């Protein structure tokens, strides 16, 4: 009986129990949904915060990049400005310096021209004195004729009428430089015959030797160059003649004699501008070993001017000076193109 009551009571209350259980499940599900919704919201907030932070970082990076570009542009502008300023500071003094160098070159050329003109005038005056002296001796010759019964063999005859030393030398040198060697040879010989004591006599004898040398008549060239040393031992042409004698001997196949001449040259003129070439020929002849150092060439303006004044012979405006072979810069003054007559061009 009690059991039946309990069963009836249980059956009566079972729908209520089941309904309560379902409500509890629904509430649990609703709580889970609410929790999930809250988690989604939390994740969304976190995502939004991270996106905002990332956006801020990107914006900051863009700002830094813009600032860097601005700084780079400013730096580039500053560098360009400084380079332009430095260039202007360098170019201006360089231009001024170049102008001053050009002015100095013009002044030097003017000085050369004045020196050449002075030398020419001195040479003309010296030649006029020589001509006057020759004329005086010619005029006084008849008065002295009775006292000179036997003329000396080495007394030079007077030049043809109207012939001056300057004119004869000018013509000879012009013919030489234009390749008329036979005519130049005769004129140089006449110059030595009629004017053996003038300033240009050593140069005339030297060019005779060079004419033989150009004609490959080396033995005659040796004799002519040797005559310069014998007749004019203390003359600017003497070293050149001694050197060319050695070259002529070497061309003639007389190697031993050539070596002797070159040794004599470097002994007498150790500082001459041709000494290095003489040493080179001695090495070629096997008479001298290679030297470790070169010779000091004394090519300075003061020496050149001293030699120019000492020479005192320029063959006329527009013509080559007899010193042209010793001082090539003189060619710039006299206006004559250089030709192959300098011993520095041989060997």
Does 246 score more than 70 pLDDT? yes
Confidence of residue 223 (pLDDT cuts 50, 70, 90): very high
- Whose tokens are 């020479």? That residue is 311
Contacts of 182 (CB under 8 A, 6+ apart): none
Which of 293 and 50 is assigned the larger pLDDT? Answer: 50
Structure tokens at 307: 């030699």
Percent of the chain with pLDDT strictly greater than 70: 69
Question: What are the angstrom distances between the C-alpha of 266 and each of 125, 292, 299?
Answer: 36, 16, 17
Note the pTM of the prediction, 2 decimals: 0.43
- pLDDT value of residue 85: 83
Does 43 score more than 90 pLDDT? yes
Q: In angstroms, rounded to a whole number, what is the distance separating the alpha carbons of residues 294 and 280? A: 11
Does 324 score more than 50 pLDDT? no
Which of 153 and 33 is assigned the larger pLDDT? Answer: 33
Q: Is 343 helix (H, G, I), strand (E, B) or coil?
A: helix
Provide the terminal-to-terminal Cα distance of the chain, rounded to the nearest Å. Answer: 159
- pLDDT value of residue 113: 79
- pLDDT value of residue 233: 87
- CB-count burial class (<10 Å; 0-12, 13-18, 19+) for 282: buried
Q: Which of 6-15, 37-46, 105-114, 233-242 has the lowest mean pLDDT?
A: 6-15
Q: Which of 19-28, 80-89, 122-131, 237-246 has the lowest mean pLDDT?
A: 122-131
Give me the phi and psi of 232, to 5 degrees please.
-135, 70
- pLDDT value of residue 1: 58
Structure tokens at 263: 């040794």
Q: Which of 62-66, 208-212, 224-228, 298-302 has the lowest mean pLDDT?
A: 298-302
Question: Is residue 203 a contact partner of residue 166, using CB atoms and an 8 Å limit?
Answer: no
Confidence of residue 346 (pLDDT cuts 50, 70, 90): low
Does 341 score more than 60 pLDDT? no
Which of 16 and 142 is assigned the larger pLDDT? Answer: 16
Q: In angstroms, rounded to a whole number, what is the distance separating the alpha carbons of residues 138 and 324? A: 33
Which of 265 and 314 is assigned the larger pLDDT? Answer: 265
Average the pLDDT over 237-256 and give the result.
Answer: 93
Does 7 score more than 50 pLDDT? yes
**In this structure, which topology does domain 163-345 adopt according to CATH?**
1.25.40
Q: In angstroms, rounded to a whole number, what is the distance separating the alpha carbons of residues 277 and 263? A: 12
Average pLDDT over the chain reads 77
Torsion of CA 38, 43, 48, 50, to 10 degrees: 150
Does 249 score more than 70 pLDDT? yes
- pLDDT value of residue 240: 94
Q: In angstroms, rounded to a whole number, what is the distance separating the alpha carbons of residues 115 and 304? A: 11
Structural domain spans, the chain:
163-345
Q: Which of 61-65, 167-171, 315-319, 341-345 has the lowest mean pLDDT?
A: 315-319
Question: Is residue 341 a contact partner of residue 207, using CB atoms and an 8 Å limit?
Answer: yes
- pLDDT value of residue 100: 86
Confidence of residue 110 (pLDDT cuts 50, 70, 90): confident
Which of 147 and 26 is assigned the larger pLDDT? Answer: 26
- pLDDT value of residue 337: 37
- pLDDT value of residue 313: 38
Helices (H), the chain: 2-144, 165-177, 181-194, 201-214, 218-231, 237-251, 255-268, 275-284, 301-311, 330-334
Question: What are the angstrom distances between the C-alpha of 9 and each of 2, 5, 16, 19, 92?
Answer: 10, 6, 12, 16, 123
């Amino acid at each position: 009986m009690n059991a039946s009551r309990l069963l009836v009571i249980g059956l009566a209350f079972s729908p209520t129990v089941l309904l309560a259980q379902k409500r509890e499940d629904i509430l649990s599900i609703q709580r889970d949904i609410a929790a999930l919704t809250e988690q989604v919201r939390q994740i969304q907030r976190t995502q939004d915060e991270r996106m905002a932070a990332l956006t801020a970082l990107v914006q900051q990076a863009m700002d830094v990049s813009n600032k860097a570009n601005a700084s780079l542009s400013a730096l580039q502008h500053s560098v360009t400005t400084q380079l332009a300023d430095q260039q202007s500071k360098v170019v201006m003094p360089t231009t001024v310096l170049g102008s001053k160098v050009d002015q100095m070159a013009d002044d030097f050329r003017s000085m050369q021209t004045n020196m050449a003109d002075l030398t020419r005038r001195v040479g003309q005056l010296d030649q006029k004195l020589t001509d006057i002296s020759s004329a005086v001796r010619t005029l006084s010759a008849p008065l002295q004729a009775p006292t000179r019964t036997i003329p000396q063999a080495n007394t030079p005859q007077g030049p043809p009428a109207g012939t001056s030393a300057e004119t004869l030398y000018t013509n000879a040198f012009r013919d030489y430089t234009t390749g008329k060697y036979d005519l130049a040879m005769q004129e140089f010989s006449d110059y030595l015959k009629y004017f053996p004591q003038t300033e240009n006599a050593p140069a005339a004898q030297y060019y005779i030797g060079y004419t033989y040398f150009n004609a490959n008549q080396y033995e005659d060239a040796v004799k002519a160059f040797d005559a310069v040393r014998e007749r004019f031992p203390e003359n600017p042409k003497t070293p050149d003649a001694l050197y060319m004698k050695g070259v002529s001997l070497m061309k003639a196949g007389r190697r031993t004699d050539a070596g002797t001449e070159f040794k004599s040259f470097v002994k007498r003129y150790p500082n001459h501008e041709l000494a290095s070439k003489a040493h080179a020929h001695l090495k070629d002849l096997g008479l001298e070993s290679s030297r470790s150092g070169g010779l000091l060439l004394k090519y300075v303006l003061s020496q050149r001017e001293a030699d120019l004044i000492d020479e005192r012979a320029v063959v006329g405006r527009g013509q080559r000076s007899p010193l042209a072979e010793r001082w090539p810069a003189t060619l710039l003054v006299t206006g004559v193109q250089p030709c192959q007559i300098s011993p520095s061009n041989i060997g």
